[in-house]
Amino acid sequence: MKTKKRSFCIIGLGRFGQTLAVNLARTDHQVLVIDTNDDIVNAMSDIVTNAVVGDPTSEAVLRAAGVGDYDCAVVASAENINDSILITLILKEMGVPQVVSRASSDQHRRVLEKIGADMVVFPEQDMGEKLVGILDRNNVLEYIEFSDTHSIVEVAVPEKWVGKSIAEIDIRRRYGVTVLAVNDPVTGMNISPDPNKPFSADETVALLGENTAIDRITK
Protein backbone atom coordinates (compact mmCIF):
# COMPACT_ATOMS: atom_id res chain seq x y z
CA MET A 1 0.00 0.00 0.00
CA LYS A 2 1.34 3.42 -0.95
CA THR A 3 2.35 5.58 2.01
CA LYS A 4 0.54 8.92 2.23
CA LYS A 5 2.85 11.87 1.66
CA ARG A 6 3.05 14.43 4.47
CA SER A 7 1.83 17.96 3.85
CA PHE A 8 3.89 21.04 4.68
CA CYS A 9 3.31 24.76 5.17
CA ILE A 10 6.39 26.92 4.68
CA ILE A 11 6.10 30.38 6.24
CA GLY A 12 8.65 32.91 5.03
CA LEU A 13 10.20 32.71 1.59
CA GLY A 14 13.78 33.79 2.03
CA ARG A 15 16.46 31.62 0.47
CA PHE A 16 16.03 28.91 3.13
CA GLY A 17 12.24 28.84 2.84
CA GLN A 18 12.26 28.78 -0.96
CA THR A 19 14.83 25.98 -1.09
CA LEU A 20 12.83 23.94 1.40
CA ALA A 21 9.54 24.48 -0.44
CA VAL A 22 10.98 23.67 -3.87
CA ASN A 23 12.62 20.45 -2.72
CA LEU A 24 9.53 19.26 -0.85
CA ALA A 25 7.38 19.99 -3.90
CA ARG A 26 9.80 18.11 -6.14
CA THR A 27 9.31 15.01 -4.00
CA ASP A 28 5.52 15.22 -4.52
CA HIS A 29 4.58 16.57 -1.11
CA GLN A 30 1.63 18.92 -0.73
CA VAL A 31 3.21 22.32 -0.01
CA LEU A 32 1.62 25.62 1.02
CA VAL A 33 3.78 28.74 1.13
CA ILE A 34 2.96 32.05 2.83
CA ASP A 35 4.87 35.32 2.55
CA THR A 36 4.19 39.04 2.38
CA ASN A 37 6.16 39.49 -0.86
CA ASP A 38 3.82 39.30 -3.88
CA ASP A 39 6.59 38.74 -6.41
CA ILE A 40 8.17 35.80 -4.55
CA VAL A 41 4.81 34.17 -3.82
CA ASN A 42 3.74 34.49 -7.47
CA ALA A 43 7.04 32.99 -8.62
CA MET A 44 6.46 30.02 -6.32
CA SER A 45 2.82 29.50 -7.30
CA ASP A 46 3.65 27.24 -10.26
CA ILE A 47 5.95 25.07 -8.14
CA VAL A 48 3.99 24.41 -4.94
CA THR A 49 0.42 23.28 -4.27
CA ASN A 50 -0.81 26.59 -2.83
CA ALA A 51 0.81 30.00 -2.49
CA VAL A 52 -0.64 32.76 -0.30
CA VAL A 53 0.27 36.43 0.01
CA GLY A 54 -0.40 37.60 3.55
CA ASP A 55 0.92 38.53 6.98
CA PRO A 56 1.76 35.27 8.77
CA THR A 57 1.71 36.99 12.16
CA SER A 58 -2.07 37.23 11.73
CA GLU A 59 -3.97 34.21 13.03
CA ALA A 60 -6.82 35.10 10.65
CA VAL A 61 -4.48 34.85 7.66
CA LEU A 62 -3.11 31.48 8.80
CA ARG A 63 -6.58 30.07 9.42
CA ALA A 64 -7.89 31.36 6.08
CA ALA A 65 -4.95 29.69 4.34
CA GLY A 66 -5.86 26.37 5.99
CA VAL A 67 -2.57 25.97 7.84
CA GLY A 68 -4.29 23.87 10.51
CA ASP A 69 -4.93 21.14 7.93
CA TYR A 70 -1.21 20.57 7.27
CA ASP A 71 0.91 17.93 8.98
CA CYS A 72 3.88 20.23 9.53
CA ALA A 73 4.44 23.99 9.51
CA VAL A 74 7.94 25.45 9.13
CA VAL A 75 8.66 28.98 10.29
CA ALA A 76 11.51 29.47 7.85
CA SER A 77 12.32 33.13 8.45
CA ALA A 78 14.33 34.13 11.53
CA GLU A 79 15.34 37.71 10.74
CA ASN A 80 12.55 39.24 12.82
CA ILE A 81 12.75 37.35 16.11
CA ASN A 82 9.48 38.78 17.48
CA ASP A 83 7.57 37.69 14.37
CA SER A 84 9.17 34.25 14.47
CA ILE A 85 8.16 33.74 18.10
CA LEU A 86 4.62 35.05 17.53
CA ILE A 87 4.04 32.83 14.48
CA THR A 88 5.36 29.77 16.31
CA LEU A 89 3.06 30.48 19.26
CA ILE A 90 0.01 30.92 17.00
CA LEU A 91 0.75 27.68 15.15
CA LYS A 92 1.02 25.75 18.44
CA GLU A 93 -2.24 27.26 19.70
CA MET A 94 -3.90 26.30 16.39
CA GLY A 95 -2.94 22.70 17.02
CA VAL A 96 -0.64 22.17 14.03
CA PRO A 97 0.75 18.63 14.60
CA GLN A 98 4.41 19.57 14.08
CA VAL A 99 5.91 23.05 14.22
CA VAL A 100 9.50 23.52 13.07
CA SER A 101 11.04 26.94 13.66
CA ARG A 102 14.28 28.43 12.41
CA ALA A 103 16.49 30.18 14.98
CA SER A 104 19.03 32.91 14.41
CA SER A 105 20.86 32.56 17.74
CA ASP A 106 21.08 30.36 20.82
CA GLN A 107 18.88 32.76 22.76
CA HIS A 108 16.29 32.70 19.98
CA ARG A 109 16.44 28.88 19.97
CA ARG A 110 15.84 28.70 23.73
CA VAL A 111 12.77 30.93 23.49
CA LEU A 112 11.33 28.86 20.61
CA GLU A 113 11.83 25.68 22.61
CA LYS A 114 10.21 27.29 25.67
CA ILE A 115 7.04 28.18 23.75
CA GLY A 116 6.71 24.66 22.39
CA ALA A 117 8.36 24.44 18.96
CA ASP A 118 8.59 20.71 18.18
CA MET A 119 11.91 21.20 16.41
CA VAL A 120 14.27 24.17 16.18
CA VAL A 121 16.71 24.36 13.28
CA PHE A 122 19.79 26.54 13.08
CA PRO A 123 20.88 26.11 9.43
CA GLU A 124 23.99 28.27 9.60
CA GLN A 125 25.31 26.53 12.72
CA ASP A 126 24.26 23.06 11.52
CA MET A 127 25.96 23.58 8.17
CA GLY A 128 29.05 24.90 9.88
CA GLU A 129 29.27 21.83 12.11
CA LYS A 130 28.74 19.57 9.12
CA LEU A 131 31.45 21.38 7.17
CA VAL A 132 33.87 20.96 10.06
CA GLY A 133 33.11 17.24 10.00
CA ILE A 134 34.00 17.14 6.31
CA LEU A 135 37.07 19.38 6.39
CA ASP A 136 38.47 17.65 9.46
CA ARG A 137 38.61 14.32 7.65
CA ASN A 138 40.55 13.49 4.49
CA ASN A 139 38.59 12.53 1.35
CA VAL A 140 35.20 12.76 3.10
CA LEU A 141 32.47 13.67 0.59
CA GLU A 142 29.47 13.60 2.94
CA TYR A 143 29.20 13.65 6.72
CA ILE A 144 26.19 12.95 8.95
CA GLU A 145 26.38 13.03 12.73
CA PHE A 146 24.32 9.96 13.64
CA SER A 147 24.62 10.49 17.41
CA ASP A 148 27.08 12.00 19.88
CA THR A 149 29.38 9.03 19.38
CA HIS A 150 28.60 7.69 15.91
CA SER A 151 28.69 9.14 12.39
CA ILE A 152 27.96 8.16 8.81
CA VAL A 153 30.46 9.28 6.18
CA GLU A 154 30.79 8.82 2.45
CA VAL A 155 34.47 8.55 1.64
CA ALA A 156 36.62 7.67 -1.34
CA VAL A 157 37.78 4.06 -1.07
CA PRO A 158 41.05 4.14 0.93
CA GLU A 159 44.02 3.37 -1.28
CA LYS A 160 44.99 0.26 0.70
CA TRP A 161 41.47 -1.18 0.22
CA VAL A 162 41.62 -1.03 -3.58
CA GLY A 163 41.66 -4.50 -5.15
CA LYS A 164 40.47 -6.14 -1.93
CA SER A 165 36.96 -7.05 -0.81
CA ILE A 166 34.97 -6.30 2.36
CA ALA A 167 35.42 -9.91 3.46
CA GLU A 168 39.14 -10.00 2.65
CA ILE A 169 39.84 -6.80 4.56
CA ASP A 170 37.48 -7.92 7.37
CA ILE A 171 36.43 -4.30 7.71
CA ARG A 172 34.03 -4.62 10.63
CA ARG A 173 36.47 -6.52 12.84
CA ARG A 174 39.63 -4.67 11.82
CA TYR A 175 38.28 -1.12 11.64
CA GLY A 176 35.11 -1.25 13.77
CA VAL A 177 32.89 0.24 11.02
CA THR A 178 30.08 -1.11 8.87
CA VAL A 179 29.95 -0.64 5.10
CA LEU A 180 26.40 0.58 4.44
CA ALA A 181 26.77 1.04 0.68
CA VAL A 182 29.22 1.18 -2.19
CA ASN A 183 28.79 3.83 -4.88
CA ASP A 184 30.16 2.97 -8.31
CA PRO A 185 30.31 5.87 -10.84
CA VAL A 186 28.94 3.58 -13.58
CA THR A 187 26.43 1.27 -11.88
CA GLY A 188 25.42 3.65 -9.09
CA MET A 189 24.73 3.10 -5.39
CA ASN A 190 24.56 -0.47 -4.08
CA ILE A 191 23.05 -0.73 -0.58
CA SER A 192 23.69 -4.49 -0.44
CA PRO A 193 27.32 -4.68 -1.57
CA ASP A 194 28.82 -8.06 -2.40
CA PRO A 195 31.29 -8.79 0.45
CA ASN A 196 33.53 -10.68 -1.98
CA LYS A 197 33.71 -8.04 -4.74
CA PRO A 198 37.02 -6.13 -4.78
CA PHE A 199 36.90 -2.35 -4.39
CA SER A 200 37.98 -0.17 -7.30
CA ALA A 201 39.80 3.13 -6.99
CA ASP A 202 36.93 5.19 -8.43
CA GLU A 203 34.31 3.96 -5.94
CA THR A 204 33.13 5.60 -2.73
CA VAL A 205 31.84 3.86 0.39
CA ALA A 206 29.32 4.88 3.04
CA LEU A 207 30.57 3.88 6.48
CA LEU A 208 28.81 3.81 9.86
CA GLY A 209 30.82 3.63 13.04
CA GLU A 210 32.05 5.28 16.21
CA ASN A 211 33.68 8.64 15.57
CA THR A 212 37.03 7.35 16.79
CA ALA A 213 36.90 4.49 14.29
CA ILE A 214 35.84 6.84 11.48
CA ASP A 215 38.74 9.15 12.36
CA ARG A 216 41.26 6.30 12.13
CA ILE A 217 40.17 5.68 8.54
CA THR A 218 39.76 9.27 7.35
CA LYS A 219 42.52 11.20 9.10
Q: Do residues 104 and 39 both lie within one domain?
A: yes
The overall pTM is greater than 0.75: no
- Angstrom distance (rounded) from CA 201 to CA 194: 16
Total domains, the chain: 2
Which CATH number is 51's domain given?
3.40.50.720
The CA-atom distances, in angstroms, between 150 and each of 55, 111, 213, 214 are 42, 29, 9, 9
pLDDT of residue 128: 53
Query: Any idea which of 26-35, 112-121, 125-134, 164-173 has the lowest mean pLDDT?
Result: 125-134
Which of 51-55, 129-133, 180-184 is modeled with the greatest confidence? 51-55
Contacts of the segment 48-55: beta carbons below 8 A, 24+ positions apart: 48/10, 48/21, 48/22, 49/25
- Angstrom distance (rounded) from CA 167 to CA 153: 20
Q: Do residues 178 and 132 both lie within one domain?
A: yes
198-216 pLDDT, tens digit each: 999 999 999 988 988 988 8
The confidence band for 125, taking pLDDT boundaries of 50, 70 and 90, is low
Q: Do residues 94 and 137 both lie within one domain?
A: no
Range of the domain at 184: 127-218
The confidence band for 191, taking pLDDT boundaries of 50, 70 and 90, is confident
- Sign of the dihedral through C-alpha 108, 113, 114, 115: positive
Q: Do residues 45 and 93 both lie within one domain?
A: yes
- Angstrom distance (rounded) from CA 3 to CA 114: 33
Average pLDDT taken over every residue of the chain: 88
Decide if 1 is inside a domain. no
45-67 pLDDT, tens digit each: 999 999 999 999 999 999 999 99
Phi, psi torsion values for 121, nearest 5 degrees:
-110, 145
Last residue of a domain, which of 88, 104, 121? 121
Q: Do residues 26 and 103 both lie within one domain?
A: yes
Q: Do residues 190 and 89 both lie within one domain?
A: no
Q: Decide the pairing of beta strands 188-190 and 72-75.
A: unpaired
The confidence band for 133, taking pLDDT boundaries of 50, 70 and 90, is low
Across the range 166-191, mean pLDDT stands at: 91
- Angstrom distance (rounded) from CA 44 to CA 76: 15
Decide if 2 is inside a domain. no
Across the range 179-185, mean pLDDT stands at: 90
Which CATH number is 142's domain given?
3.30.70.1450
Residue 192 has pLDDT above 90, yes or no: no
